[in-house]
Amino acid sequence: MEPLPEEEQGEVPTQYFYDSSRSILAENDSPDLPFKYSINPYRGCEHGCIYCYARSTHEYLGFSAGTDFESRILIKTDAPRLLENAFKRKSWQPQTVVFSGNTDCYQPIERRLELTRRCLEVFLKYRNPVSVITKSFLVTRDLDIFERLAALDLIEVSMSITTLDPELARAMEPRASTPSRRLEALSMLSERGIPTSVNAAPVIPGLTDEELPAILRESALRGAVTACYILVRLPLAVETLFVDWLHRELPLRAPKVLNRLREVRGGRLSDGRYGTRKSGEGEMAESIRGLFELSCRKYGLNHREIHLSTRHFLRHGPKQLEIF
């Protein structure tokens, strides 16, 4: 991997590497994920969210799940070209692609490289639907492309909101946009006619679960149509990192949080089983689910679904595409 020039991000300098991947669409066969393909132009994430389940994937690259995940970022500079190649194949069946399934496609380096924006232009060119998930206000930069996608029912944007407490957010998600900026982004997107949703995730029992009603209320007020939630997942090295962070940053609350986690995870802190890994099990997990559903009904969320269309997909040669 060839390093790019470094940029200073906080106390640890961020180093970027070229990623020479030959494909850009990641395929999954997980029974509890509602999509088959996702796209990730970056590996690692400068947002530095301590709970991020993707941290452990950095170890496959020879890096650590801790500081390296936040400061050694791999850049897929060929992402737009690789995406276009995928859509050109006769074997490609138009379907919604999730952007991103792993790390945030609007992390800080995107402001300079614009890989996500260039990929969105490819989605528009081929009229393939896309669902965007992010924690970044930078998503508002691409309102012009989103409007054109929305006109063809090709886009949904989901804002991930874990807490409304700015101090807690800064501790958990040090370089992500503040909660108020994320809500502002929801408003800006909704006002331009772009279908939006809120992903109240991850819910951390004993720490953020009590905020579910407020998160859903504030998101609905800003135009969110649908909502979902996911209980925090702590696979492999992420468990140790999260527990260490909890004792260091929130020592008085740590025992309660860990006890609640064990309660919803069958006595463990993490559970990777399909069917329960996203929602947990037991009375506490049912209580959280009930609170979510009650709040959605109260604030008018999930009364209707966001349907993305594949009927506009274009499978033409380059000259024909230039017409559109």
In SS3 terms, 26-41 reads as EECCCCCCCCCEEECC
Q: Is residue 214, in this structure, part of any structural domain at all?
A: yes
- 75 in Cβ contact with 19 (< 8 Å): yes
**Per residue in 31-67, pLDDT tens?**
666 778 999 999 999 999 999 999 999 998 999 999 9
Q: Which candidate, 262, 303, 310, places its Cα nearest to that of 285?
A: 262
- DSSP assignment letter at 97: E
User: Tokens in use for 23?
Assistant: 């494909």
Band the pLDDT of 240: cuts 50, 70, 90.
very high
What's at 235, amino acid-wise?
P
Q: State yes or no: pLDDT of 5 exceeds 50.
A: no
Q: State yes or no: pLDDT of 306 exceeds 70.
A: yes
**Per residue in 166-196, pLDDT tens?**
999 999 999 999 999 999 999 999 999 999 9
Looking at the structure of the chain, the number of domains it has is 1
Give the residue numbers spanning the domain of 266.
22-38+78-304
User: Tokens in use for 73?
Assistant: 């970022």
Residue-level pLDDT at 62? 92
Q: Is residue 188, in this structure, part of any structural domain at all?
A: yes
Band the pLDDT of 11: cuts 50, 70, 90.
low
Q: State yes or no: pLDDT of 145 exceeds 90.
A: yes
Q: Is residue 5, in this structure, part of any structural domain at all?
A: no
Q: Taking residues 71-92, what's their average pLDDT? A: 96
Q: State yes or no: pLDDT of 297 exceeds 90.
A: yes
Q: Is residue 252, in this structure, part of any structural domain at all?
A: yes
Q: What is the pTM of this model?
A: 0.92
What gap in Å lies between CA 201 and CA 186, rounded to an integer? 16
What gap in Å lies between CA 264 and CA 72, rounded to an integer? 33
Band the pLDDT of 315: cuts 50, 70, 90.
confident
Number of helical H runs and strand E runs in the chain: 12, 11
What gap in Å lies between CA 310 and CA 3, rounded to an integer? 39
Residue-level pLDDT at 31? 67
First CA to last CA distance, the chain: 38
Q: State yes or no: pLDDT of 76 exceeds 80.
A: yes
Q: Is residue 131, in this structure, part of any structural domain at all?
A: yes
Residue by residue, DSSP assigns 274-285 as TTTTTT--SHHH
- DSSP assignment letter at 94: P
Q: State yes or no: pLDDT of 106 exceeds 90.
A: yes
Q: What is the CATH number for 145?
A: 3.80.30.30
Q: Which candidate, 158, 90, 99, places its Cα nearest to that of 313?
A: 90
Q: Is residue 58, in this structure, part of any structural domain at all?
A: no
Q: Is residue 236, in this structure, part of any structural domain at all?
A: yes
CA distances from 247 to 114, 255, 256 (A): 37, 9, 11
Q: Is residue 216, in this structure, part of any structural domain at all?
A: yes
